[in-house]
Structure 1
């Protein structure tokens, strides 16, 4: 590995931006097909110590009550708390050289129709002078679960993983079940998916290819569920269940989510970091 890893960084950052463009186009197509053609609002973001990104948020659509598809590419030196967190995860050299570079895409969708599931997806690459790795995944968060929707979503995630290693799906599914769990509620925040982090097999191209396939699997995993449920009639009780479930989602992201913690501790734009929060939620 060259110290700066410049070619690989550029390839990864370009891919995350390309995936953002694909997803934004697909979601705006859904708003055109099912509503009045709501569009994303684009806001550049900046990190004071280096880098930035693009926050893309659509609000008040016929399909999406709020959806964000953000990309970022940031760099600089990690602060003391972030250094300690990285060192605790086994990243070497943090005490002597805290430089880092990171790029990724992060998506969270909160739906209008309670029968359409909320969803999260992110993939990222992280680099230090001593190590690099990929991470990410996607998980489905319905307030009203349909087993066939869950099965479809997981099948698409499994296909993406199986193309690279026979044990990836089982391992990443179990990791998602553990990671997307709310200890103080004693329950998962949704019906799972896949999650992986610190992925460095020693073959950068292979690990990048997996990360690309996880990103490519997102639209085939999620869009058919929207098309299947968008016309389902819903009641005030359904809406109430949706808002309570969003409360669980907000609790998880504010208390436990690793990406939220890193984004805030590393000085990235707070609005972009907290894009995942729902527009409305309820606690009982």
Structure 2
């Protein structure tokens, strides 16, 4: 099947793989350089698959998960490229988002990277990042961003995280950062708790100016901002002494994170309704959480 977008699809999926490789290497480097007790963490990598309703191949990806490391209690870095035909529920969801013609031609293609890190030390912030490209015969767009989720907040950490993202977005126009920051504040909000999930970041969805190269470059820079925005915070906080009360605070905050991902997150809903590997979709959930 030729749709005139094969080169762009290949370029995008290759980039997500490169970003994944860079992040995995960086996180394993954090494990190597940490002088704490316990096993040095390593990612376990497994292939994920997706099948269509008729049993034919519909893509897949790599699920990379590290559990019980010195620095990371659980971190997942997943990539996937999936395709096929959207079911009725997904078609309706796309139509509600303004994508035309899905009932006549429900083909789709989607590729992206998704990351969630939950830390051993309660003073080291949890984090989420993803970027993705979505294509149908009627439209294409990019989405994603990253947001910081500390259970114990440090103003200087929040400032660094946001300043790094702003520095990567400003070359695309100084209006991008405030727009994407406000978008993140709106998206990562938990209505039933009347509060934000974390301290924000940047986020965009359904992003398409009509210039694929420009939009892809912006998406790449969102991905490139992640490691310099986040890794220095881990290096700063991973040795901070912590108490049982700090750990309790962390577990309660993780409960908040789990609530958001299970109730509101679009990626979770899309992955589960389109038949992707459930373990990969739910990789974002923390290993332990607590509710009061």
TM-score band by shorter chain is over 0.9
Q: How many residues align?
A: 283
**1:162 is the counterpart of 2:170:** yes
Mapping for residues 22-171 of structure 1, pairs under 5 Å: 22-34=22-34, 35=36, 36-49=39-52, 50-171=58-179
2:256 to 248, 258, 261: 248
Measured in 2, the distance between the counterparts of 1:210 and 1:111 equals: 29
Paired residues of 1:99 and 1:128 also in contact (CA < 8 A): yes
What secondary structure does 1:281 align onto?
coil
Measured in 1, the distance between the counterparts of 2:233 and 2:47 equals: 31
Paired residues of 2:49 and 2:60 also in contact (CA < 8 A): yes
Paired residues of 2:189 and 2:197 also in contact (CA < 8 A): yes
Measured in 2, the distance between the counterparts of 1:148 and 1:141 equals: 14
**1:266 is the counterpart of 2:269:** no
Provide the residue aligned with 2:227 in structure 1. Answer: 219
Paired residues of 1:4 and 1:129 also in contact (CA < 8 A): no
Paired residues of 1:107 and 1:122 also in contact (CA < 8 A): yes
Paired residues of 1:66 and 1:109 also in contact (CA < 8 A): yes
Measured in 2, the distance between the counterparts of 1:238 and 1:26 equals: 26
1:5 Cα offset (Å): 0.3
Paired residues of 1:115 and 1:229 also in contact (CA < 8 A): yes
**1:179 is the counterpart of 2:182:** no
Provide the residue aligned with 1:283 in structure 2. Answer: 291
What secondary structure does 1:251 align onto?
helix
- Aligned CA RMSD, in angstroms, stands at 0.8
What secondary structure does 1:47 align onto?
strand
Paired residues of 2:146 and 2:201 also in contact (CA < 8 A): yes
Deviating 4+ runs (over 2 angstroms): none
1:58 Cα offset (Å): 0.2
TM-score under structure 2 normalisation? 0.96
Measured in 2, the distance between the counterparts of 1:257 and 1:163 equals: 29
1:157 Cα offset (Å): 1.0
Paired residues of 1:133 and 1:200 also in contact (CA < 8 A): yes
Paired residues of 1:40 and 1:58 also in contact (CA < 8 A): yes
Q: Which runs of 5+ in 2 are unaligned?
A: 53-57
Paired residues of 1:20 and 1:105 also in contact (CA < 8 A): yes
> Structure 1 261/270 Cα, relative in aligned 2: closer, same or farther at 3 Å?
same
**1:196 is the counterpart of 2:204:** yes
Measured in 2, the distance between the counterparts of 1:220 and 1:81 equals: 39
1:230 Cα offset (Å): 0.9
1:194 Cα offset (Å): 0.5
Provide the residue aligned with 1:3 in structure 2. Answer: 3
Task: Identify which range, 248-257 or 160-169, moves more after superposition.
Answer: 160-169
Q: Which runs of 5+ in 1 are unaligned?
A: none
Measured in 2, the distance between the counterparts of 1:64 and 1:145 equals: 18
